[in-house]
Amino acid sequence: MQTIALQKWAVDNEPDLTREAYAQIECGGAEDCGCEACFNFATTRHLIYSAEVLEFLEWLGIDPQLEACARHEARLASGAHRYTVSFYLVGRIARGPSTPIARRRGRTYQSLEPAGDVQVGFCADASDAPEAFRGLPCVRLEVRVVAPWVANGPEPRGPN
């Protein structure tokens, strides 16, 4: 077991068990979905993650090609598109909030923390975890990234 301390979280995790679970997954959530925004994400996945982020995911035992979900959030003024990508890892949140969701003045916000060129957050809710993680203690890692639009289809403006 190893512990990662990142911003307001400390997460105990088992990278070898996480790798074993990912070895059972056939394709990433973006390929599984099939919508235009997910197709774009899957097509640009190799451009999105910096070497630092890839090293971090590898250290956790996560396969960056096998996200559970890639949610399109917005088309930015720059023309790029913002996504929040979910990965799972075997472990538990040892310190910090159980979710990256915050409530302020009656409104709900996603409270991700900066980590290099991305934003991240951890969540104890593993109810949507892929089958390979069922029955294991899991933590969801949320990673917010920016991707170019390369798909031929129409660009979505808002959440998908």
Structure tokens at 18: 């996480």
Closest CA to 138 of 96, 86, 89, 103: 89
The model's pTM: 0.91
pLDDT in tens, the chain (160 residues): 899 888 889 999 999 999 999 999 999 999 999 899 999 999 999 999 999 999 999 999 999 999 999 999 999 999 999 999 999 999 999 998 888 776 667 776 677 888 888 899 999 998 999 999 999 999 999 999 999 999 988 888 777 7
Instruction: Report how far residue 111's alpha carbon sits from residue 88's, in angstroms, rounded to the nearest whole number.
Output: 18
Q: How many CB atoms lie within 10 A of CB 67?
A: 28
Quote the CA–CA distance of 31 and 70 in Å, as a whole number.
Answer: 10
